[in-house]
Amino acid sequence: MQKRIFSLLFLGLASLMVGSAFAAELNGVRLWRAPDHTRIVLDLSEINNYKIFPLANPHRVVVDIDNTRLKTDVSKLELSKTPIRNIRSSADKNGRMRLVFDLAQLVKPNSFTLKKDAGHGNRLVIDLHDLQKRKNTIKTASKVQSQRRDVVVVIDAGHGGEDPGAVGDRNLLEKHVVLDISKRLQRLLKKETGFRAELTRTGDYSIQLRKRSEMARDKGADLLVSIHADSFKNRTAHGASVFTLSSNGASSESARWLASRENNADLVGGVELIDKGWMLKKTLIDLTMNASLDVSQNAASQVLDSIGTMADLHKNEVEQAGFLVLKSPDIPSILVETGFISNRKEAGKLSKPAYRQKMAQKIFLGIKNYFQQSPPDGTYLAWRKRTAPVIAEHVIKRGDTLSEIAIRYRVSIALLKKFNRINGNNIHVGQRLRIPLS
């Protein structure tokens, strides 16, 4: 009898506590605009039962979360460029919180939750997908095969939005550093005859890892270059690295650690990690993969050599790891870690625009060298290589100058420069000059 009274008392107490002291709190709302959707992240102390549904006339999306209190100001969020016009909130007497997103257009809401991890607390992520038709002009353009098409390089700035990537000294965020370097690299490639450069992300939003290689495929990429900046628990770790995909997974302990951390970004992206078609097509994929791994490996070593002329290298050879973004079977893919932002000195360098420009320039030269040497069929570069009367190829060594090379091969400096598209007197170690018949 006494026992029963006790447990009744206990039950009463417990339900009282659920009703009050244990109410979850909404501590923050964050927002990112991607080209085809708007991502809303609710930072919650606990994730209780929730419901999300769209309503029409006027268009809005309603988010109801049980037993949760609003502890943040939702009125100050930056909504420009999003379809959201206004955010309202209310609470009912049962402790249910309601957020209403007033919308300018119809969207398709999609949601998932993320549990507390090293960087964030519990999150409810809501994606509002645009329902307007997406423009796909680029895809059509890449299908048009011309005899002298451009080499297409797709540049992928790692992380973005909800996923900051590595956090460096003085709160330097990898996502910002790598987007800037990527944009600089794009500008350099765009200026170069025979190249077209596209970005996977153009702003501060996250893209699922598999989606990044899908985008590269859609854009007809000859090479996918994913740009990152490293961090490591040991803050003395430093130097740039270039990775290609290893067929046997990560090749070293540190590479494995890195790969798993980078791949975690997909948990942030949250959805559709498993592509069922993947296993079925494996045999075919393996065949294609070997070919693209070859290209990746050669392009990667050119990029590594080029970066090595300006920055410390983490290792003197191209490394292999199982980065998900590299796992596209048909697209040669490389991943450049531009340095360790967990290292004070390198974070300092990577925070400076001039250094980022130099880094972009070296990556650019590596890519350019590779494609000038091994242009894909049907490209302008392949045509130029075929038709130009080349009498020799000279690999620049330390101490070489243009004038010495010109004298040695009895060719004018002007022609040498024009033929190799050299501006100024800028040559670098490892660069291959094609020597024209003069």
Tell me the C-alpha to C-alpha distance, in Å, between residue 106 and each of 89, 273, 274: 20, 27, 29
Q: Which residue has the tokens 């045509």?
A: 383
Which contiguous run of DSSP H or E holds residue 141?
helix 137-143
Give DSSP secondary structure letters for 369-380: HHHHHSPPTTBH
- Least gap, CB of 228 to Zn ion (angstroms): 3
Coil/strand/helix, residue 384 = helix
Q: Does 329 bind Zn ion (CB under 5 A)?
A: no
Pick 158 or 436: Cβ nearer Zn ion: 158
Hey, how many other C-beta atoms are within 10 angstroms of the C-beta on 189? Answer: 24
- Least gap, CB of 357 to Zn ion (angstroms): 20
The beta strands (E) that lie in 107-256 are given as 107-114, 122-130, 151-157, 195-199, 223-230, 241-245
Which of 228, 238, 314, 428 binds Zn ion (CB under 5 A)? It is 228
- Least gap, CB of 430 to Zn ion (angstroms): 26
Q: Does 269 bind Zn ion (CB under 5 A)?
A: no
Residue type, 170: R
Provide the token pair at 352: 């400076």
Q: Which stretch binds Zn ion (CB under 5 A): 51-59, 85-93, 163-171, 276-284?
A: 163-171
Site string for Zn ion, 180-199 (x = CB under 5 A): --------------------
Pick 126 or 326: Cβ nearer Zn ion: 326
Coil/strand/helix, residue 433 = strand
Judged by CB under 5 A, how many residues of this single chain contact Zn ion? Answer: 3
Instruction: From 300, 316, 310, 339, select the one nearest 429 (Cα to Cα).
Output: 310
- Least gap, CB of 229 to Zn ion (angstroms): 7
Radius of gyration from C-alpha coordinates of the chain: 26
Pick 165 or 329: Cβ nearer Zn ion: 165
Cα 115 to its chain centre, rounded Å, is 22
Pick 241 or 431: Cβ nearer Zn ion: 241
Residue of closest CB approach to Zn ion: 228
- Least gap, CB of 181 to Zn ion (angstroms): 12
Q: Which stretch binds Zn ion (CB under 5 A): 77-85, 225-233, 298-306, 374-382?
A: 225-233
Which of 34, 111, 150, 158 binds Zn ion (CB under 5 A)? It is 158
- Least gap, CB of 178 to Zn ion (angstroms): 7
Q: Which stretch binds Zn ion (CB under 5 A): 65-73, 143-151, 180-188, 221-229?
A: 221-229
Which region holds residue 170: left if phi is over 0, alpha if psi is between -120 and 50, else beta? left
Q: Which residue has the tokens 């987007």?
A: 179
Q: Which stretch binds Zn ion (CB under 5 A): 61-69, 222-230, 232-240, 267-275?
A: 222-230
- Least gap, CB of 144 to Zn ion (angstroms): 34
- Least gap, CB of 428 to Zn ion (angstroms): 26
Q: Does 165 bind Zn ion (CB under 5 A)?
A: yes
Pick 165 or 366: Cβ nearer Zn ion: 165
Q: Which stretch binds Zn ion (CB under 5 A): 106-114, 156-164, 191-199, 378-386?
A: 156-164
Classify strands 151-157 and 107-114 as parallel, antiparallel or unpaired.
unpaired
Classify strands 390-395 and 432-436 as parallel, antiparallel or unpaired.
antiparallel
- Least gap, CB of 159 to Zn ion (angstroms): 6
Distance in angstroms (rounded) separating the CA atoms of residues 132 and 105: 9
Give DSSP secondary structure letters for 236-303: T---BEEEEE-TTS-SSHHHHHHHHHHHTHHHHH-S----THHHHTHHHHHHHHHHHHHHHHHHHHHH
Q: Which stretch binds Zn ion (CB under 5 A): 60-68, 158-166, 399-407, 422-430?
A: 158-166
- Least gap, CB of 323 to Zn ion (angstroms): 9
Residues forming contacts to Zn ion in the complex (CB under 5 A) are 158, 165, 228
